[in-house]
Structure 1
C-alpha cells in the first residue's frame, strides 16, 4: 500500500485527489524463478490530472542473495468498461473499444519485480552489465529512481495489460515483455538525471524517500495538534532544509500548506458529514480561538464554517 501511495503522489499533482480512485480490477502473476507481475486498475468519476511516471527500485546483493530490481509504473489513458460483456478490445455490441460509451477513465499501476535468481542468471559471464551500472550509481545501497516512461515502454505496458494469453503462454509473454521494460528503463536510467526530476539528488536514496513519507504520515496522524518543522525533522532524523525541500519535491507543496489542506478537509467532513458544531470542530482541530479556525477554513474552502452547515 505504501508503494502505491508513493507512486500516486508523483503521478497526481494534488495528493488529496487520489481519494477519488476506486479499484476496478487487479491481477497478479508469478513466473517461477523469473518475475512477479501485478496490475491494479483504478477508475475515477471526476477529471483527474495524471502524469505517467515510473520508478526503478534497486536492492543490491546482500547476505549471499543476488541483487533484485523492481519496476513500477503509473500510466493513464487505458479504459475500463462497466459492461461485463465487454473486453478491453471489443465492446459487447460490436463497437470498437474506443467507441464504447460505458467506459470510464482509469489509472493503471503495474509492477514487475525481477526475482534475485533470475538477475543472477543474467549476470553470469558478464562484468559490465546494466546491474553493475546500478550498483555504481547507488554505491551498493538500496535506492529508488523516478523516470518518465518512454514511448516504447508505454507500448509494452499496453500489451501486458491487453492480451489474450493464458497459462504457460501467459507466463512466457509476460516474461518477454518484462525484459523489454528492463532494457528500455535501463537506457533511461543511464541517461536520466534524477536531480532534474526532483530538484534534489538525495531523494534517489530509498532511505531518504522513506523519511519524507514518514513525515507526511506523522502530519496526517496528528491533524489536531500542529507540529513544528524542527520537531518533525527530529522525529524523522532528517535535516530541516532537506526535509522542506524533499517534501515539496515529492508532494508538490510545502509542509505547512499540505498540513493545512488536510486539516481543513478533515474539518469539512466533521462539519458536513458528522454534523458537529463549529466550536466542537475548532477544538477538535486544535484551535483555541474559533475566529482563527473560521478564517483558516474560509481560506481553504471559500466558505465560513457556519455557511457550510446551511448548504
Structure 2
C-alpha cells in the first residue's frame, strides 16, 4: 500500500494492524483532461473491521504564478453483491435478490482520491472579485494544510454513485467531473462552516451507530417492496425513535421514507411490466396492491404512464 492509503486507513480503522486483512479487489485510474485525476481502489475483507468513514482535504495555495491545488481523499465502508460493477449497496443492477446475485454480499473499504488540476481550479476562480479567491481560504491564511473531516451524507451518496457507475468513454469523463464538482462543493461547505449539524443535516447522525440504523431501515424497505411497512414498525425494527428515523432518513437519502419506498416500488413494477411482460393485475398483486386502480394511479404518478401503456411500448 502507498503511504497516502496508509495515512487515511490509520484514521478510518481504529486498529491499524487490521488493515493487513484488506485485499485489493478493484482499481480504476482515470485522467479527465484539463480537470482532474480520479483514483478508485476497492478493498475487500473477510473478518469484520471497524471502519469509520473519513475524508481528507489537502490544499496548496497559489504561489509563484501557479494556481492553487486541491486534493480530496475519501475512505468509506461499502458493500458489493456480485461481480457486476453496477450492483451497489441498494440492490442488484439486474433486479435480482441477494441470493440470486451470484455471490454473498462482501464488505468493502472504498478509497477514492480526486486530484484537481491547478489550471482547472484557476479557471473556477476567474471573475471572482472577492478578496478571498480560494475556496478553502476562509480564514484568510494562505498556507498549505491537510484537514480531516467526516464525509457528509450527501458526499457519501455521491461516492457510492462514483463507485458503481456504468459509464464508459467520454460519458465516463463527464460523469466523474460532475460528481467531483459535487464533492468539491460539499467539502468546501464543511470546511468553511465546520459545523457538525450542517454536515449531516441531523446532529445525531454524527454517530456511526445511528447512521447504521438508517441504512438498515433502507435495506428493510428494499427487501419488502411488495409488503408496505409502517414507520412505527420500521422504527421498532431498527430500534430508533420515529422522529429521528424520519429526519435521519431524509438527511441521508434526500427524500421521505414513503417517497423513497414508492419510487423503488414503482421501479420494480416497471421492470416486471416492461422486461418480464407480466400483466397489470399480476404486477399489482405482486406489489401488494389489492386494488388495481390504486396501483395504476401510483404507477402513473411516478412514471407519467399508465401501466397498460407501458405494455405496448
- TM-score grouping bracket, smaller chain normalisation: 0.5 to 0.7
In 2 relative to 1, CA 6–96 (structure 1 residues): closer, same or farther, beyond 3 Å? same
In 2 relative to 1, CA 97–69 (structure 1 residues): closer, same or farther, beyond 3 Å? farther
Instruction: Please show how residues 94-109 of structure 1 align to structure 2 within 5 Å.
Output: 95-96=96-97, 100=101, 101-109=103-111
Deviation at 1:144, TM superposition (A): 0.5
8 Å contact kept, 2:68–2:134: no
Q: Which runs of 5+ in 2 are unaligned?
A: 197-313
Deviation at 1:127, TM superposition (A): 3.0
- Paired residue secondary structure (2:139): helix
- 1:169 — aligned with what? 171
Please state if 1:68 is matched with 2:65: no
- 1:239 — aligned with what? none
- 1:309 — aligned with what? none
Deviation at 1:77, TM superposition (A): 2.3
Instruction: Please show how residues 1-311 of structure 1 align to structure 2 within 5 Å.
Output: 1-79=2-80, 81=82, 84=83, 87-88=86-87, 95-96=96-97, 100=101, 101-128=103-130, 132=134, 134-137=136-139, 139-192=141-194
Deviation at 1:76, TM superposition (A): 0.4
Q: Distance in 2 between matches of 1:131 and 1:26?
A: 35
In 2 relative to 1, CA 92–10 (structure 1 residues): closer, same or farther, beyond 3 Å? closer
Deviation at 1:150, TM superposition (A): 0.7
In 2 relative to 1, CA 7–129 (structure 1 residues): closer, same or farther, beyond 3 Å? farther
Q: Which runs of 5+ in 1 are unaligned?
A: 195-311
Deviation at 1:162, TM superposition (A): 1.1
Q: Distance in 2 between matches of 1:128 and 1:21?
A: 45
In 2 relative to 1, CA 86–182 (structure 1 residues): closer, same or farther, beyond 3 Å? closer
- 1:288 — aligned with what? none
Deviation at 1:2, TM superposition (A): 1.1
8 Å contact kept, 1:39–1:111: yes
8 Å contact kept, 1:123–1:129: no
8 Å contact kept, 2:81–2:92: no
In 2 relative to 1, CA 14–130 (structure 1 residues): closer, same or farther, beyond 3 Å? farther
In 2 relative to 1, CA 192–19 (structure 1 residues): closer, same or farther, beyond 3 Å? same
- Paired residue secondary structure (1:70): strand
Q: Distance in 2 between matches of 1:73 and 1:156?
A: 11
Tell me the number of residue pairs that the alignment of Structure 1 and Structure 2 aligns: 192
For each residue in 1:174-211, what CA deviation from the matched residue of structure 2 results, as whole angstroms up to 9, or x when unmatched? 101111111111110012279xxxxxxxxxxxxxxxxx
Q: Distance in 2 between matches of 1:92 and 1:34?
A: 29
8 Å contact kept, 1:43–1:80: no
Q: In angstroms, what is the RMSD of aligned CA positions?
A: 2.6
In 2 relative to 1, CA 91–183 (structure 1 residues): closer, same or farther, beyond 3 Å? closer
- 2:253 — aligned with what? none
Q: Distance in 1 between matches of 2:56 and 2:7?
A: 10
Deviation at 1:92, TM superposition (A): 9.6
For each residue in 1:29-61, what CA deviation from the matched residue of structure 2 results, as whole angstroms up to 9, or x when unmatched? 111110111100000010100000101100111
Deviation at 1:96, TM superposition (A): 3.4
Deviation at 1:102, TM superposition (A): 2.6
Q: Distance in 2 between matches of 1:131 and 1:10?
A: 31
- Paired residue secondary structure (2:137): helix
Deviation at 1:128, TM superposition (A): 3.0
8 Å contact kept, 1:54–1:73: yes
Q: Distance in 2 between matches of 1:187 and 1:144?
A: 16
- Paired residue secondary structure (2:76): strand
